Amino acid sequence: MNGNALLLAAALLPMLAAPFVWHLGTREKRSSLNSMALVCALELVLAAVVGFEALRGRELSFTLEGFCGQGLRMRADGFRSLYALVACIMWLVSGIFSRDYMAHEHAVPRYCFFTLMTLGAVIGMFLSDSIFSIFIFFEIMSLASYPWVAHEEDKAAMRAGETYLYIAVIGGLTMLMGIFLLPAGVAAAPLAQLPQLCAGQKLWLPALLMLVGFGAKAGAFPLHIWLPKAHPVAPAPASALLS
């Protein structure tokens, strides 16, 4: 492990807080909603600190060698810090809105738990600095956001959740297949080195597989079949974040 652990903390803070927020909600729903909004606010502060360092021209980086055999790489430059900051603002606004919207809903602790898990995954994805790291956080994000879609647990929600889960799993396997077809070391290399590592190599098949996998999960046309089903059944704050 080397580099600035602040980047890893930015991804892990919501995930580590999620079980405590869920536990608070088992006693009183409003406590879970309030604590979720508080964690989102703390995450925004953390993202602002990372962004301030990037604005000063000091790019933060973090590497965890040997993680899942490929290692975990994170970096915070201007654009990545900006996207992380925007995501934190979105989650904070959604968290504040959820305090009233979800106050009389069922399964509030579960909703809060997976909202924070998804936030951590999104921040980790934006701050990732290798294809493999992006894949790891993208998969966590996809699976953790499934309970949003199926939250109402009625027939329409469960059917939409099934479609979403099918796309998430098939898209993830397609992405992984593309990663396996990359030359050795490319998936774990820093993103800035990819043009040099891939120069002169024919990588159409892995590129196509990863494009289809990421596109399906992101709801890109014509792989967006889960979107029209998921948005109407998900709670309004979650639907806004799914967008």
What span, in angstroms and rounded, lies between the C-alpha atoms of 150 and 165? 10
Question: Is 1 a residue whose pLDDT tops 60?
Answer: no
Rounded mean pLDDT, 129-136:
94
Question: Is 205 a residue whose pLDDT tops 60?
Answer: yes
**HSE-CB for 127 with a 13 A CA cutoff:** 35
Tokens in use for 228?
Answer: 């029209």
Identify the pLDDT of residue 118: 96
Task: State the residue for tokens 């951590």.
Answer: 120
Identify the pLDDT of residue 13: 95
- Give 212-233 pLDDT, tens digit per residue: 998 888 877 877 778 888 878 8
Tokens in use for 40?
Answer: 């989102």
Identify the pLDDT of residue 227: 80
**For the whole prediction, is pTM greater than 0.85?**
yes
Q: Is 226 helix (H, G, I), strand (E, B) or coil?
A: coil
Identify the pLDDT of residue 217: 82
Average pLDDT of the chain? Answer: 89
Identify the pLDDT of residue 3: 62
Question: Is 9 a residue whose pLDDT tops 80?
Answer: yes
Rounded mean pLDDT, 17-24:
95
- The answer to whether the CB of 72 falls within 8 A of the CB of 11 is no
What span, in angstroms and rounded, lies between the C-alpha atoms of 208 and 79? 25
